[in-house]
Structure formats: C-alpha cells, structure tokens
Chain A
Amino acid sequence: MLHLPISRRKFLSQSLTAALAFPFSIAKTTLPNLIFSPPRRRLRDLGITIGALPTGKWNALTDVPGVKVGHCTRIEGDGDLVVGKGPIRTGVTVILPNDDIYRENLTAGRFVMNGNGEMTGMGSVDQRGLLQSPIFLTDTSNIGRVMNGAMSWFLKTYPEIGDRAPVPVPVVAETWGGFLHDSAGRHLDDTHVLAAINDAKSGPVQEGAIGGGTGMVCYDFKGGIGTASRVLPEAQGGYTIGVLVQTNHGDREQLLINGAPVGKEISDLQLGEGKKSKSIVLIGATNAPMIPAQLQRLCKRMAFGLARTGALSSHGSGDLLLFFSTGVKVKQDAMMTEIEIFNDEAITRMHQAAIEATEEAILNSLCMAETTVGINGNTAYALPIERLPAIMKKYGRAMK
C-alpha cells in the first residue's frame, strides 16, 4: 500500500511528479486513476455553472464577512482494519461564525430533512434562536471527542464559563466515515479540535477529502467538504450567502450535475463491499440580517439544493441543516438589542441563492475529493471530472 510521510493533499498535488519519480511503487497501488487523472478542479472551473447568481470572491462560505473555516485532517496507515490502530481517515472541520461567538451570539435556524444523524447544541438554537458555539463537523464516532475538545477550548478561552456564565453545548455534527476509517477507534482528541480552530481563516476553503470530510463517500464517489457562495445585486442589498457541506449521501444512479444524470452515465468506479451509511450536513451563512424564522426558511431551500443533486434523503441519512446570520448580533449579557431585519418580501432571491450555493457546494465536494483508500483497502473513487464534458454535451448542458 502507498504510504508517504507527507500530507495527503501535498502528496496528491505532487502525484504526477511522484508517479514519475517512483513508477514502480505507484504501479503496485490500488490507485490507478491517481496517476492519469488531471488535478481536481472545482465545478465552475470545469466550465459548469449552477444557476444564475454571481459567486462571492472565493465562492465559499468564507465570502460571508467574518466567517472562518479551518480543518484538521488525519490520514495515517493502510491495510486491514485494526480497531484502535487504523487505518485512520478522519478529521474535524470548524466554522467560526465570528471571532467571539460565545459572547456575541448570532441568530440561527435549523431544519431536519431526515433525522438519522446528530447535531448537538441545538437547544440554544431551538429555544433562543441563537448560535453560541463554533460549528464542528466530524465523523459519527468522534462526536463526543470533538464535543469534549470544544469544551476544552471554551473553558480555556472563557474563564467565566462554569463560574458565573452558562456552560455552552458545542455544536458538533457528523456523518458516518466507517467505510474508509477505523470508526470504532475514533482517533481524535483535544489537540485535533484545537488544531482545526487554529487553522481557521477567511479566504479560500480547502475542499474534498479533508477535515470532517476525510472519510466521506457521496453518490458512491469520494465525497467530503464542499462550499460555494452567491452574492445578491447591490439593488437587492448586496448580501452574501455561503454554504458549506460535508457530503456522505446518495446512491450512484441518483447523481445529477446541473440536471444531467451523471450518476447513470458512470457505472464503473464503484465502492465495492463494506458498510456505508449516508448522511449530509449543510451549514449556511449570510450577512443579511435575519431572525431565526427566516433562517429556518433558508435551511429548507438548502434542502432543495440537495434535491437538485439527485438526493432523495434516504431513511438512513442524517440530513441536517443549520443556517446562521452574521447580520444580527446579540451580546450575551445584553438586556435588549436593537436589530434590523430583512424584508420577507425580498427573501425569494435569497432562497434562490441558498439553492444555487448548496447545489454547487455539494458538487464541489465531489469535484475536489481525491480517490481515497481506507480500511481493508476499501476505495472511494474520485468523480472522474474528465468525463463530465461529454456527459454535459450529451444532455445539452452548456459548458463555458
């Protein structure tokens, strides 16, 4: 099995060089398409445009001012599963909604498209309509570990917690990574949670098999983290909507790209035997000032974006959605806060933005994820993006 003491991302970006330098070792791996496939590219860079609205600068969740995203990724070991040892294919992705979310809460709303999953810390969202925690994404078995790591960060950052201020419940959401990862072994602790937080930044967001998305599988291809954004015209407020997803859902034949039945057109590169479990976590953000009821409505439109990629939200899928607004800030100790709120009469365009950004974010996760070999040699193949132009042409979809 292939094993190199450098990060997978770095390795993959150098895969062609590596292939030339070590032709014999590469030839023995189970990653044939690694050598011949072109580098991963985002959907838009492939010439496929979703919807009509323009993107933000980075076409990412981080286009919403103040929002930061960080990852910590663990990819270690190859071969047979030995519980507690590996192979390890997991990580944590963190979204910092602002720089001080515990003391300066933001409005949030959630929606459950299909409940077979976990997103902790929803009591504050349900009862108060406020987000008071960073949002962490990881694999199912690591929920508790990441919650505890997040608690360590809370206690370190805010000395008032547990003394004269409420103990927050960290928002941690999951999808199942056990097809590729030693799930029972977990393999995350406080240090990884803190590493993800320290990695958080604005600007471009790394996508694919990274952070919480490391072990994920989507439409039976390699999935993971994807993101996209939309910007409304100045005349409509000029607000930004960003979406970040951790994709682990869907069956191959369901996959639609810009409406074209791509999944039906690609019958090879299948997953093979091994337990799979389907889920997707969708996180939206906007700087449009919105109350929780409006954000819940945007969550439902993210579900529409999910549907546009072909998903039917199967029973086993935890399809959980959360949307927050950086436009309404509520200080933790404020007696009263004067806020502005978005006009419902103009929200339809925001719906469109949420749908478009979600569809593109999901497809970006597929376009950017690299083929990944995990436990017992289980392989999730990258979506062969080089085949997309011919499929798009066949179904009359424009390419730029």
Chain B
Amino acid sequence: MKNSITDVSGIQVGHFTLADGDIQTGVTAILPYPLSVRNRKLFIGSFASGNWNEWTGLQVAQDFGTFSSPIVLCNATTVGLAYDALISFGHEREEGLPIDNAWPPIVIGLDDGYLNDLRQRRVTHDEVLRTIKQANDSAVVCGSIGIGRGLCALGAKGGVGDASRLIKIGEKEYRLGVFIAANGGTGGRERNVIVPTSVTPSFVLVIATEAPLLPEQLRQLAEAALRGLEGMVNFHDTTQQLALAFSTSNTIDGAFEQRFQLFKERWYAPEQLSRVFAEAGICARAALQQAMEKAEAVTGRRGRLAAPLTHEELNKIFSNQ
C-alpha cells in the first residue's frame, strides 16, 4: 500500500503545475480506470454542501448514477478549456462520445485566486490533455502541486493530499482511497496572521473504492468522507464542500455492444457498510493531513505569500489521528 488513492486498483492520477509569478495554478486529473479500458461505466454518488458547488457532467451522474470520464480539477476560469480538452479526449476514444466512453466530462473548478491570477487563463487545452494522458498509478505527490499549487486552507497554504485504507466487509478485503483538494476552512491557526483565503473557498473530495457499491450507497460514502472532516475543519466561513464517490467494482462494461443484456453486480446490506463509511471519514482526515503537511510556501499574485502550517499547528490539528 502506498497510502494513496492509487492503491485502489486502476486509479491513476496526473498533475500539471504552472508556477510563474502571478500565475500559481495547475491541473489534477483522476482517472477511474486506465486509458486502455474502454466502454465502461462506473457508479457514482455525490454530496454537496455550501452555496454553489459546480461540477460538470452532473446530469448523467445524478440521473443515471454513472460516469465514465476522468475527473479533472482545475482553477475556476479554466473549466471551459478543461471541458474542451476532455471533449478532445472523448473524440479520440470514440467519435460519437457515448456515455460509457468518457462523456460527459467531469470538471470541477476551484477558486485559487488568492495566489493565482484567475483573470489570466494560462493553462492550455493541450496541457490538460497531457495531464490526463500522463496520469499513472504511482503514489500521488501531495501539497502545492497540480491544482494544489494555488490553494489555501485552514488559514495557511493548502493543497492536495490523499490516503488509502484496507477495509473488510465480511471476509472480503477492499481498498478505499480519498483524494482531497483543501481550499478553505479555518481551524488551523492560533497566531494572529493574515489569513490567505480565496473569494469562494472550497473543499473537494474524491473517494474511490474497490468495494462494490451502488449510487445511493456512494452518495452516503461521499457524505461520510466529508463528515469525517468535522471537528478538524471549521467550514463556517462559507467554504463549499463537494464530495464525489465512485466504485471501481460493480462495473458496467460494453453496454453499447449488446442492448439486451444483464450486468452482474453485488449489493451489500446497509449494516455491512458502516465500517466502510467510518473508514472513509478517517481516510479523508489522513488525506487532509497529507495535503497540509506537504504544502510548501507559495508566493503568488500581488506578491502574496501563503506559508504552510507550522509543525506545532499541524500537531495540534492532526495529533489525535
């Protein structure tokens, strides 16, 4: 185990970072399965809290409970460009953009405007595409990298982090991973300092598991992961919270190849899943710890500096883990 979301079989992650003066941003792509896998849908569930949580592809995800796209996190003004890159990606896979082969794209925009000049859209279509194609299953680099580059959280430099757990349901073992983009919230600092924060801070969690879950259960898993941060992060400052959870089991393969067919899936009784939900919360806290511990100081827009939490501050927040 790498203690990374890439421990979940098939998951690949890619980062692209752009650090140049007022531009401190990046892109992170999470692939639910390798590019070699085709015509596959996975079940997905989502949970959102806060004023607005924008993600594309939600019409299919919410109505059908499925998705087949890489999940791309980018800054808030780059969403259209990233979406267009995923359209290119989809057309490369199959001309007709069917929903079991990368359409519709899932793109989540984050406001990294404290450190990054959002009015300049310097990330390009090709860089997003490359981020997807260079994704791999090595342990995810955490901190001020990818979309984490310009993020601020808990009154300090935020970033991206991830963690994983081995969970047991009955005799079966499954892996579960949580990826977090920490951008907002309070609770980390005691000193009276200038708190770096963006206009619309947001926490985004992506939870992947090998446990075979259905969309309703995945919505609960998403909520459970997010609730795991309660007590550690104070979201009262209007930080948006969005969690997407998906299962790499219970796949739907080749739906277009033969219309009248049945798919074999597994349905755990709710009481079997309580441990899974609890572990998702623990894993979310561990992912946040990774994000905050690995975050490096970044100087960005208008010379603003966001410094990471000190060891003492980190200990205070995470020592009970």
Contacts and interface: CB of A to CB of B under 8 A. Distances in A.
A184 B48 contact: no
Contacts, number: 133
Contacts of B105: 144
Given A112-B63, A118-B57, A119-B59, A162 B119 contact: yes
A320 B199 contact: no
B80 A167 contact: no
Interface string A148-165: 111100010000011111
B55 A166 contact: no
Interface in B66-114: 76-77, 79-87, 91, 95-97, 99, 103-105, 109, 111, 113
Contacts of A122: 54, 58-59
B54 A124 contact: yes
Given A151-B121, A275-B96, A144 B84 contact: yes
Contacts of B53: 123, 126-127
B48 A126 contact: yes
Interface in A103-160: 112, 114-124, 126-128, 140-141, 143-151, 155
8 contacts: A119-B59, A127-B48, A128-B52, A149-B80, A155-B77, A162-B119, A169-B79, A186-B87
B63 A144 contact: no
Nearest to B65: A115
Which of A112, A165, A167 is the most central at the interface, judged by chain B CB atoms within 10 Å of its CB?
A167
Nearest to B95: A184
Nearest to B99: A116
A59 to B, nearest CB: 29
A123 B55 contact: yes
A310 interface: no
Interface of A: 112, 114-124, 126-128, 140-141, 143-151, 155, 161-167, 169-170, 176, 178, 183-184, 186, 275, 277, 318, 320
Contact of A155 (B54, B96, B119): B119
A304 B48 CA distance: 29
B200 interface: yes
A323 to B, nearest CB: 16
Interface string B114-134: 000111010000000000000
Given A151-B121, A162-B118, A186-B84, 10 more contacts: A115-B61, A123-B53, A127-B48, A141-B97, A144-B84, A162-B119, A167-B118, A169-B109, A183-B97, A318-B59
Contacts of A128: 51-52
B233 to A, nearest CB: 19
B62 A145 contact: no
In terms of DSSP, what is the predominant structure of the interface of chain A? Answer: mixed
Q: Please provide the 3 A-B residue pairs with the shortest distance between their CB atoms, ordered closest to farther.
A: A115-B63, A144-B84, A147-B80
Contacts of A162: 76-77, 113, 117-119
B130 to A, nearest CB: 16
Contact of A116 (B60, B77, B84): B60
B56 interface: yes
A277 B96 contact: yes
A141 B52 CA distance: 25
B199 A165 contact: yes
A143 B95 contact: no
A148 B84 contact: yes
Contacts of B81: 144, 148
Given A162-B113, A178-B96, A123 B80 contact: no
A114 to B, nearest CB: 7
Given A120-B56, A122-B58, A127-B51, A150 B80 contact: yes
A112 B59 contact: yes
B87 A144 contact: yes
A170 B54 CA distance: 10
A127 B58 CA distance: 14
A115 B109 contact: no
A123 B87 contact: no
A120 B55 CA distance: 8
Q: Which residue, of B80, B105, B113, has the highest number of chain A Cβ atoms within 10 A? A: B80
B21 interface: no
Report which residue of A114, A115, A161 has the largest number of chain B beta carbons within 10 angstroms of its beta carbon. Answer: A115
Nearest to A159: B119
A27 B56 CA distance: 47
Contacts of B268: none
B131 to A, nearest CB: 15
B214 to A, nearest CB: 17
Contact of B80 (A119, A146, A184, A277): A146
Contacts of B64: 115-116
A128 B53 CA distance: 10
Contact of B83 (A115, A126, A144): A144
Nearest to A125: B52
B54 A143 contact: no
Given A115-B62, A118-B59, A162-B77, A140 B97 contact: yes
Nearest to A146: B80
A110 to B, nearest CB: 9
B189 to A, nearest CB: 23
A143 B111 CA distance: 21
Contacts of A178: 95-96
Contacts of B60: 115-118
A144 B89 CA distance: 12
B95 A121 contact: no
Contacts of A146: 80
A320 B81 CA distance: 23
A335 to B, nearest CB: 14
B77 A151 contact: yes
A289 B58 CA distance: 28
Nearest to B125: A144
A122 B62 CA distance: 12
A144 B119 CA distance: 17
Select the residue from A146, A148, A176 with max chain B CB neighbours within 10 A: A148
Nearest to B64: A115
